[in-house]
Amino acid sequence: MNVAFFTRSVITVCTLFFSLTPSAQTLYLIGGALKTCSSMATNNCEENVEFSAAAKTHLLFSVDEMATKRFAGSWPTANKKHLKRTLKLLENLPLNKALSKTDLTQWVKQLDDELYREWSNKEFYFFFDMLELPLLYRQKRIPELVNTEGNSEVASTEILEDIVASITKTKHKKLLLVTASSRDPYESADFYQGLFQDYDIDAQWLPLTPALAAAINNNACKNLDFYRNTLNGVYNREAVYPDRTLSEYKLCQRGVEQITRQIKSADAIMFNGGDQSLTKQVIYSSDTQTPYPWTVALKQVPIVIGTSAGTAVQSGGKNNFGNVPMITNGSSIEALQNGALNAAAPAQNCDIHGGCGKLISDSLTYDPAGGLGTFSYGILDTHFSERGRSFRLAVLAQQSGQKFGFGVDETTALKLEKTTGRFSVIGKKGVVVVEALTPQRFYYSFYPASSKHLMSALYNVAKNVQPPLKGKDKRLLISHLLEENALRDVVQKMCADQTQKVEASQQNLPTIYITRTSESRCDKQESGMYLVKNMAINWVFD
Stretch 45-57: mean pLDDT: 95
**Distance from C-alpha of 539 to C-alpha of 514, rounded to nearest angstrom:** 9
Which pLDDT belongs to residue 4? Answer: 39
pLDDT at 122 over 80: yes
The average pLDDT across 461-484 equals: 62
Compute the average pLDDT of residues 362-386. 97
Residue 465 clears pLDDT 70, i.e. is over it: no
Distance CA 305, CA 287 (A): 27
The pLDDT tens digits of the residues spanning 205-219 come to 999 999 999 999 999
Give the DSSP letter of residue 97.
-
Hey, how many other C-beta atoms are within 10 angstroms of the C-beta on 537?
23
For residues 289 and 297, is the Cβ–Cβ distance under 8 A?
no
Beta-ladder partners of 504? 478, 512
CB 26 within 8 A of CB 267: no
- Residue range 370-391: mean pLDDT, rounded: 97
Q: Write down the number of H helices and E strands in the chain.
A: 19, 26
Going by pLDDT thresholds of 50, 70 and 90, the confidence category of residue 19 is: very low
Structure confidence at residue 459 as a pLDDT band (50, 70, 90)? low
Could you report the per-residue pLDDT of 282-320, keeping only the tens digit for each? Answer: 999 977 789 999 999 999 999 999 999 999 999 999 998
Q: Has residue 485 got a pLDDT over 50?
A: yes
pLDDT at 462 over 60: no
Instruction: Return the pLDDT at 129.
Output: 98
Q: What is the pTM of this model?
A: 0.94
Report whether pLDDT(92) > 80: yes
Residue 476: predicted pLDDT: 65
CA dihedral of residues 500, 541, 459, 426 (deg, nearest 10): -80
Q: What residue type is assigned to position 102 of the chain?
A: T
- Higher-confidence residue of 351 and 73: namely 73
Average pLDDT of the residues in 495-514: 92
DSSP string of 471-500, one letter each residue: S---EEEES-TTSTTHHHHHHHHHHHHT--
Over 80: is that where the pLDDT of 530 sits?
Answer: yes
- β-bridge pairing 412-417 and 26-30: antiparallel
Cα of 176 vs its chain's centroid, Å: 18
> What's the chain's average pLDDT?
92
User: Side chain identity at 447, as an amino acid letter?
Assistant: Y
